[in-house]
Amino acid sequence: QKEVEQNSGPLSVPEGAIASLNCTYSDRGSQSFFWYRQYSGKSPELIMSIYSNGDKEDGRFTAQLNKASQYVSLLIRDSQPSDSATYLCAVVLMDSNYQLIWGAGTKLIIKP
Amino acid sequence: DVKVTQSSRYLVKRTGEKVFLECVQDMDHENMFWYRQDPGLGLRLIYFSYDVKMKEKGDIPEGYSVSREKKERFSLILESASTNQTSMYLCASSRDGTDTQYFGPGTRLTVL
Protein backbone atom coordinates (compact mmCIF):
# COMPACT_ATOMS: atom_id res chain seq x y z
CA GLN A 1 0.00 0.00 0.00
CA LYS A 2 1.56 3.23 -1.17
CA GLU A 3 1.12 5.92 1.45
CA VAL A 4 1.69 9.56 2.09
CA GLU A 5 1.39 10.61 5.70
CA GLN A 6 0.91 13.99 7.29
CA ASN A 7 0.10 15.09 10.80
CA SER A 8 -3.52 16.24 10.64
CA GLY A 9 -2.95 19.05 13.14
CA PRO A 10 -4.17 21.59 13.77
CA LEU A 11 -0.76 23.21 13.87
CA SER A 12 -0.95 26.58 15.58
CA VAL A 13 1.78 29.13 14.84
CA PRO A 14 2.05 32.77 15.94
CA GLU A 15 1.94 35.42 13.24
CA GLY A 16 5.43 36.21 11.98
CA ALA A 17 6.91 32.86 13.03
CA ILE A 18 8.05 29.98 10.81
CA ALA A 19 5.50 27.25 10.13
CA SER A 20 6.97 23.82 9.42
CA LEU A 21 4.85 21.17 7.72
CA ASN A 22 6.07 17.63 7.22
CA CYS A 23 5.17 14.73 4.97
CA THR A 24 6.56 11.21 4.72
CA TYR A 25 6.02 8.78 1.86
CA SER A 26 6.46 5.05 1.46
CA ASP A 27 7.42 4.66 -2.21
CA ARG A 28 11.21 4.92 -2.33
CA GLY A 29 11.14 5.43 -6.10
CA SER A 30 8.92 8.50 -6.06
CA GLN A 31 10.27 11.36 -8.16
CA SER A 32 7.76 14.21 -8.04
CA PHE A 33 6.46 15.95 -4.96
CA PHE A 34 3.90 18.69 -4.54
CA TRP A 35 2.54 20.95 -1.84
CA TYR A 36 -0.97 22.29 -2.25
CA ARG A 37 -2.88 24.76 -0.13
CA GLN A 38 -6.63 24.40 0.37
CA TYR A 39 -8.79 27.02 2.01
CA SER A 40 -12.01 25.86 3.61
CA GLY A 41 -14.66 25.25 0.95
CA LYS A 42 -12.23 25.84 -1.90
CA SER A 43 -10.24 23.57 -4.19
CA PRO A 44 -6.52 22.82 -3.76
CA GLU A 45 -4.04 25.18 -5.36
CA LEU A 46 -0.37 24.45 -6.02
CA ILE A 47 2.15 26.09 -3.69
CA MET A 48 5.32 24.36 -4.79
CA SER A 49 6.67 21.36 -6.63
CA ILE A 50 10.04 19.77 -5.97
CA TYR A 51 11.85 17.01 -7.82
CA SER A 52 15.45 16.99 -6.52
CA ASN A 53 16.99 16.55 -3.10
CA GLY A 54 17.59 19.76 -1.23
CA ASP A 55 15.76 23.03 -0.82
CA LYS A 56 13.64 25.02 -3.23
CA GLU A 57 12.62 28.53 -2.31
CA ASP A 58 9.77 30.65 -3.64
CA GLY A 59 9.14 33.85 -1.72
CA ARG A 60 8.18 33.00 1.85
CA PHE A 61 7.89 29.29 1.01
CA THR A 62 10.68 26.70 1.05
CA ALA A 63 10.21 23.07 0.13
CA GLN A 64 12.76 20.56 1.37
CA LEU A 65 13.18 17.08 -0.05
CA ASN A 66 15.18 14.22 1.43
CA LYS A 67 14.72 11.10 -0.69
CA ALA A 68 16.99 8.95 1.48
CA SER A 69 14.77 9.58 4.49
CA GLN A 70 11.61 9.72 2.37
CA TYR A 71 10.28 12.99 3.62
CA VAL A 72 9.35 16.31 2.15
CA SER A 73 8.65 19.43 4.16
CA LEU A 74 7.27 22.91 3.60
CA LEU A 75 8.49 25.92 5.56
CA ILE A 76 6.49 29.14 5.61
CA ARG A 77 8.47 32.15 6.86
CA ASP A 78 6.87 35.24 8.34
CA SER A 79 3.55 33.42 8.67
CA GLN A 80 0.46 35.50 8.01
CA PRO A 81 -3.17 34.90 9.05
CA SER A 82 -3.92 34.42 5.34
CA ASP A 83 -1.69 31.33 5.43
CA SER A 84 -4.27 29.61 7.63
CA ALA A 85 -5.44 26.68 5.52
CA THR A 86 -5.03 22.95 5.06
CA TYR A 87 -1.78 21.96 3.34
CA LEU A 88 -1.81 18.82 1.23
CA CYS A 89 1.27 16.83 0.30
CA ALA A 90 1.13 14.78 -2.91
CA VAL A 91 3.58 12.31 -4.41
CA VAL A 92 3.72 10.74 -7.87
CA LEU A 93 4.18 6.98 -7.73
CA MET A 94 7.18 5.63 -9.58
CA ASP A 95 5.19 2.80 -11.15
CA SER A 96 2.36 4.97 -12.41
CA ASN A 97 2.48 7.80 -14.89
CA TYR A 98 -0.76 9.30 -13.79
CA GLN A 99 -1.58 8.96 -10.18
CA LEU A 100 -0.81 11.29 -7.37
CA ILE A 101 -1.03 9.84 -3.91
CA TRP A 102 -2.37 12.44 -1.51
CA GLY A 103 -1.78 12.95 2.15
CA ALA A 104 -4.82 13.78 4.26
CA GLY A 105 -3.49 17.27 4.92
CA THR A 106 -2.31 19.35 7.84
CA LYS A 107 -4.52 22.13 9.10
CA LEU A 108 -2.44 25.24 9.84
CA ILE A 109 -3.71 28.08 12.01
CA ILE A 110 -1.78 31.33 12.19
CA LYS A 111 -2.67 33.26 15.33
CA PRO A 112 -2.50 37.07 15.11
CA ASP B 1 -3.13 30.57 -16.67
CA VAL B 2 -4.67 27.13 -16.60
CA LYS B 3 -8.39 27.24 -16.21
CA VAL B 4 -10.49 24.28 -15.15
CA THR B 5 -14.21 24.84 -14.89
CA GLN B 6 -16.94 22.64 -13.47
CA SER B 7 -20.57 22.79 -14.49
CA SER B 8 -22.05 23.47 -11.06
CA ARG B 9 -20.79 24.70 -7.69
CA TYR B 10 -23.71 23.24 -5.77
CA LEU B 11 -26.08 20.46 -6.76
CA VAL B 12 -28.95 18.78 -4.92
CA LYS B 13 -30.32 15.52 -6.28
CA ARG B 14 -32.62 12.78 -5.08
CA THR B 15 -31.72 9.15 -4.49
CA GLY B 16 -31.88 7.16 -7.72
CA GLU B 17 -31.43 10.11 -10.05
CA LYS B 18 -28.79 10.05 -12.78
CA VAL B 19 -26.29 12.83 -12.18
CA PHE B 20 -23.87 14.39 -14.67
CA LEU B 21 -20.89 16.46 -13.54
CA GLU B 22 -18.94 18.13 -16.28
CA CYS B 23 -15.40 19.46 -16.32
CA VAL B 24 -13.70 21.54 -18.99
CA GLN B 25 -10.04 22.59 -19.21
CA ASP B 26 -8.61 25.11 -21.61
CA MET B 27 -4.90 24.21 -21.62
CA ASP B 28 -4.87 21.23 -23.97
CA HIS B 29 -3.89 18.92 -21.11
CA GLU B 30 -3.65 15.22 -21.80
CA ASN B 31 -4.69 13.99 -18.37
CA MET B 32 -7.90 14.66 -16.50
CA PHE B 33 -9.03 13.40 -13.12
CA TRP B 34 -12.11 13.14 -10.95
CA TYR B 35 -11.75 13.09 -7.16
CA ARG B 36 -14.10 13.20 -4.27
CA GLN B 37 -13.15 14.78 -0.97
CA ASP B 38 -14.76 13.98 2.35
CA PRO B 39 -13.82 15.24 5.82
CA GLY B 40 -11.11 13.08 7.36
CA LEU B 41 -10.65 10.99 4.21
CA GLY B 42 -8.72 13.39 2.02
CA LEU B 43 -8.75 13.30 -1.76
CA ARG B 44 -9.75 9.99 -3.31
CA LEU B 45 -9.36 9.29 -7.00
CA ILE B 46 -12.50 8.05 -8.75
CA TYR B 47 -11.41 7.87 -12.40
CA PHE B 48 -8.80 9.43 -14.62
CA SER B 49 -8.21 9.73 -18.33
CA TYR B 50 -4.93 10.08 -20.19
CA ASP B 51 -6.39 10.52 -23.65
CA VAL B 52 -9.66 11.00 -25.48
CA LYS B 53 -11.93 7.98 -25.04
CA MET B 54 -9.45 6.43 -22.60
CA LYS B 55 -10.25 5.95 -18.93
CA GLU B 56 -8.75 4.22 -15.96
CA LYS B 57 -10.32 3.34 -12.63
CA GLY B 58 -9.01 5.04 -9.57
CA ASP B 59 -9.38 3.94 -5.98
CA ILE B 60 -13.17 4.23 -5.66
CA PRO B 61 -14.86 3.77 -9.06
CA GLU B 62 -17.91 1.87 -7.82
CA GLY B 63 -21.15 3.67 -8.59
CA TYR B 64 -19.50 6.04 -11.06
CA SER B 65 -18.70 6.12 -14.75
CA VAL B 66 -16.91 8.67 -16.92
CA SER B 67 -16.84 9.92 -20.46
CA ARG B 68 -14.18 11.73 -22.43
CA GLU B 69 -15.32 12.35 -25.97
CA LYS B 70 -13.23 15.50 -26.44
CA LYS B 71 -9.81 16.34 -25.07
CA GLU B 72 -10.98 19.34 -23.10
CA ARG B 73 -14.03 17.75 -21.49
CA PHE B 74 -14.31 15.01 -18.87
CA SER B 75 -17.66 14.02 -17.45
CA LEU B 76 -18.46 12.10 -14.29
CA ILE B 77 -21.72 10.19 -14.20
CA LEU B 78 -23.53 8.85 -11.19
CA GLU B 79 -25.82 6.24 -12.70
CA SER B 80 -28.15 6.07 -9.70
CA ALA B 81 -27.27 8.55 -7.00
CA SER B 82 -27.18 7.37 -3.42
CA THR B 83 -26.89 9.30 -0.16
CA ASN B 84 -23.35 8.01 0.40
CA GLN B 85 -22.30 9.89 -2.75
CA THR B 86 -22.94 13.19 -1.02
CA SER B 87 -19.53 14.82 -1.24
CA MET B 88 -17.31 17.50 -2.77
CA TYR B 89 -16.32 16.48 -6.30
CA LEU B 90 -13.13 17.93 -7.72
CA CYS B 91 -11.92 17.78 -11.30
CA ALA B 92 -8.26 18.27 -12.18
CA SER B 93 -6.09 18.26 -15.27
CA SER B 94 -2.38 17.97 -15.95
CA ARG B 95 -0.06 18.15 -18.94
CA ASP B 96 1.42 14.74 -18.26
CA GLY B 97 1.59 12.17 -15.52
CA THR B 98 4.32 13.75 -13.46
CA ASP B 99 3.19 17.31 -13.86
CA THR B 100 1.20 19.59 -11.60
CA GLN B 101 -2.52 18.93 -11.38
CA TYR B 102 -4.76 21.99 -11.64
CA PHE B 103 -8.13 21.86 -10.00
CA GLY B 104 -11.54 23.22 -10.82
CA PRO B 105 -13.60 25.00 -8.15
CA GLY B 106 -15.41 21.82 -7.13
CA THR B 107 -19.04 20.72 -7.06
CA ARG B 108 -20.68 20.14 -3.72
CA LEU B 109 -23.25 17.42 -4.37
CA THR B 110 -25.97 16.60 -1.90
CA VAL B 111 -28.07 13.49 -2.48
CA LEU B 112 -31.30 13.43 -0.52
Per-position pLDDT tens, chain A of length 112: 668 999 888 999 999 999 999 999 988 888 889 999 999 989 999 999 999 999 999 999 999 999 999 999 999 999 999 999 999 999 987 766 557 889 999 999 999 9
Is the pLDDT at B65 greater than 80, yes or no? yes
Return all residues near B34 (Cβ < 8 A) that are at least 6 apart: B21, B23, B45, B46, B47, B48, B58, B64, B66, B74, B76, B89, B90, B91
Is the pLDDT at B6 greater than 60, yes or no? yes
Which pLDDT score is estimated for A2?
A: 66
Nearest CB partner across the interface for B100, out of A34, A42, A98:
A34
| Residue A63 identity | A
Which pLDDT score is estimated for A97?
A: 57
> Chain A: nearest CA to B82, how far in angstroms?
22
**Taking CA B99 as the corner, what is the angle to CA B59 and CA B95, rounded to the nearest 5 degrees?**
95
Exposure on the CB side of residue B84, measured as CA atoms within 13 A = 4
Q: Which residues of A touch B98 (CB under 8 A)?
A: 31-32, 92, 97
Which pLDDT score is estimated for A99?
A: 76
* CB interface of A with B, residues 61-80, below 8 Å: none
Which pLDDT score is estimated for A42?
A: 93
Share of chain B above pLDDT 70, in %: 98
> Chain B: nearest CA to A109, how far in angstroms?
17
A96–chain B Cβ distance below 8 A for any pair = yes
